[in-house]
Chains A and B, each alone.
Chain A
């Protein structure tokens, strides 16, 4: 379980959220600039809150100013909005960067079907393929939670449906807390086991 209770002052408003996510998909829904990505960054340790605490499966990742586990040791998989694939490495090297487990690699590749892309570079593959590669890459580290920042926003309709379907299947077999950030109401309702609406840094009903 992932528990987040943080405050962080931004330029024009204050982020102040309390949320708990069990081993299912929680959707963080809100307009652009509502603080969604900053919350994910705080959970991953890329940004630092001003106060509060973050706990993952009983492990304290952050507590006020006393504890701040570095990003590399948090075990939070992160799918960035633009995927952030390493442009100078092939798909296979991207995937193997965080984990060398061949068994897991083959399981993920079979599940998501990208074996034909392994020797390609990121600039040679399509948006949907990038999304799949980034997802596998994040899972190769066996994360204890998965953070997805607008993962489907740059995909065409059919690819989006296929990727959404894959994500739901993945959650069923993987069983970790997943936080998905989106501004798309339909997507949120379709995928979210738990719906968290956010505006100006605060959760709204």
Chain B
């Protein structure tokens, strides 16, 4: 069995998760703590990929990043980078589709604890940066971790937008969901089944671990042991 789809999927989902985690936490933190006109609209736009069919996201990304797209033309003209029909296109698709999950988890996590805990740290002379790393981030961490796992799972399972942006190029953009689809299409049931079981194991493992971890973490701050 050629294991490239597994390695490609892990690479693409891993990079996408990292980018989504950093930008999602950063944006959620800034947006939830500020008031400005158009805030609701901005948040709705950020959440949009969650309710749109992935093909719409794929179409939009092609429109922007395709070789004749506004950003795509600029990227290839100045840097010689081609996003479409490459694994970076799959990363881009995974980022956009998974972003709302991370954003939503992070925004909720930063609102879950008493704001005065941060204010108390500020009155003690701590800089905003120190307050973020020593207070906000650890207190939001259980929710951020849940968002991280959901983001990774969503990125790993991304199919529609990936197919439109990255295409199906064996050994180059063939992630596990694409391998399942094209194996089944071509009548190779054995390969399709192998990848179905693989992704089931990864997904179940991630959720089991998350549940175990959050239970343990909640006990730490609430039980008297």
Contacts and interface: CB of A to CB of B under 8 A. Distances in A.
Interface of A: 44-46, 70-78, 80, 82, 84-88, 97-99, 121, 123-124, 134, 137-138, 140-141
A141 B117 contact: no
Contacts of A82: 114, 116
A78 B124 CA distance: 8
A86 B40 CA distance: 31
Given A121-B221, A123-B221, A123-B222, A84 B126 contact: no
B81 interface: no
B123 A97 contact: no
Contacts of B117: 84-87
Given A45-B122, A88-B139, A141-B124, 11 more contacts: A71-B119, A72-B128, A73-B125, A75-B125, A78-B120, A84-B116, A97-B124, A97-B134, A98-B121, A99-B124, A121-B221
Contacts of A71: 119, 122-123
Contact of A84 (B114, B125, B134): B114
Contacts of B127: 72
Interface centre among B117, B122, B124, B138 (most CB of A within 10 A): B124
Contacts of B224: 123-124
A98 B122 CA distance: 9
Contact of B126 (A72, A75, A77, A137): A72
B78 to A, nearest CB: 41
A75 B123 CA distance: 7
Interface residues of B, number: 21
7 contacts: A71-B119, A71-B122, A71-B123, A75-B125, A78-B123, A97-B124, A137-B124
Contacts of A123: 221-222, 224
A144 to B, nearest CB: 12
Interface of B: 113-114, 116-117, 119-128, 134-135, 138-139, 221-222, 224
A124 B123 CA distance: 24
A88 B134 CA distance: 10
A138 B123 contact: yes
Secondary structure class of chain B's binding surface, majority of residues: helix
B103 to A, nearest CB: 24
Contacts of A137: 120, 124
Contact of A87 (B121, B122, B221): B221
Contacts of B134: 97
Nearest to B120: A84
B119 A88 contact: no
A67 to B, nearest CB: 18
B129 to A, nearest CB: 11
B124 A138 contact: yes
Contacts of B116: 80, 82, 84
Contacts of A78: 119-120, 123
A36 to B, nearest CB: 15
Contacts of A140: 124
B113 to A, nearest CB: 8
Given A87-B221, A88-B221, A72 B125 contact: yes
Contacts of A74: 123
Nearest to B119: A46
Given A80-B116, A121-B221, A123-B221, A88 B138 contact: yes
A117 B113 CA distance: 24
